[in-house]
Amino acid sequence: MSSDRLVIEAAEKIVTAQRVASFTGAGISVESGIPPFRGKDGLWSKYDPDLFEINHFRARPAETWNLLRDVFYVHFDKAEPNPAHKGLARLEQMGVLKTVITQNVDNLHQKAGNTDVIEFHGSSSRLICLDCNTRFDYNDILFDLLPPFCPTCRGILKPDFIFFGEGIPPEALQRAFLEANLADLFLVIGTTGEVYPAALVPVQAKQQGACIVEINPEPSSFTFQVTDIFLQGNAGPTMTALMEMIEKLYRQQTDRS
């Protein structure tokens, strides 16, 4: 756990910032029961990432869908937001945080209550037809036969998140880098910072002068490059301590005004 001094310093920066954004990765959802991709018990130590490459999916949709069900959808209905997700939702409610830019596809930021979420890698909460590009809510599709077929054109449906070999959704890419230019504080939670172009977002924010506050139990690619305040610890308890301090400072601020 980070020293109280660092938590106080981070809280003071957050409550006095003009525009706060958060950038999150798989680590923020670990305490919700969703394994990360890298590191201890990481998915890429169990599954070959090539199995989640777009051309492999097109060639073997049924095989890939069986994996998708075991890797992603098994968690989808059960996983619940943890205190870290809830802290970000509270920060939006307080008017402190504007946008969450997430690399995650688990929809937990929306489940926690954040309404402005940029899904940099898409979302498993929707499916998209490979032929007619129609999108469907995951809950509206039957999964008794795999692969699921498009109700409109009978094409094959895939999760509406990017596979290796696919580009970042253009609107998400544009909005994320716009936020990197506008925010004066980025709260980076639970990411190795090893995947591009996502990892360029906090770097861009730093280059335009934003303060970078990072929460991670381990140093990441950001920690010694762009991070100003490193709160070393798991997202849940660290965000809980940070939120307690933010709420205290926020009350003092509103009492004074």
The least distance separating ligand APR from the CB of residue 227, rounded to whole angstroms, comes to 12
- Distance between CA atoms of 9 and 4, rounded to whole angstroms? 9
Quick one: tokens of 162? Answer: 């990017």
Minimum distance from residue 27 beta carbon to ligand APR (Å):
2
From edge to edge, which strands make up the β-sheet containing 122-129? Answer: 135-137, 122-129, 157-161
For position 190 contacting ligand APR by CB under 6 A, the verdict is yes
- 89 near ligand APR (CB under 6 A): no
Rounded CA separation 257/253 (Å): 6
If one asks whether residue 10 binds ligand APR (CB under 6 A), the answer comes out as no
36 touching ligand APR, by CB under 6 A: yes
Tokens of 190: 């639970």
CB 157, CB 148: distance < 8 Å: yes
42 forms part of the interface with ligand APR (CB under 6 A):
yes
Nearer to ligand APR, 12 or 166 (CB): 166
**What angle is formed at CA 134 by the lines to CA 132 and CA 139, rounded to 5 degrees?**
140
Which residue in the set 113, 155, 197, 217 belongs to the binding site for ligand APR (CB under 6 A)? 217
Task: Pull the structure tokens for residue 65.
Answer: 């869908």
Of residues 75, 85, 109, 121, which has the active-site annotation? 121
The span of 65-73, 122-130, 144-152, 210-218 binding ligand APR (CB under 6 A) equals 210-218
Q: Which stretch binds ligand APR (CB under 6 A): 8-16, 92-100, 152-160, 192-200?
A: 192-200
For the bound state, the minimum distance from the C-beta of residue 73 to ligand APR, rounded and expressed in Å, comes to 16
Full DSSP string of 130-161: TTT--EEEGGGS--SSSS-B-TTT-PBEEEEE
Taking a C-beta distance cutoff of 8 angstroms, is the pair 233, 215 a contact?
A: yes
* Residue 70 contacts ligand APR per CB under 6 A: no
75 is catalytic: no
Q: Name the residues that contact ligand APR, by CB under 6 A.
A: 25-28, 30-31, 36-39, 42, 103, 121, 190-192, 194-195, 215-218, 220, 234-235
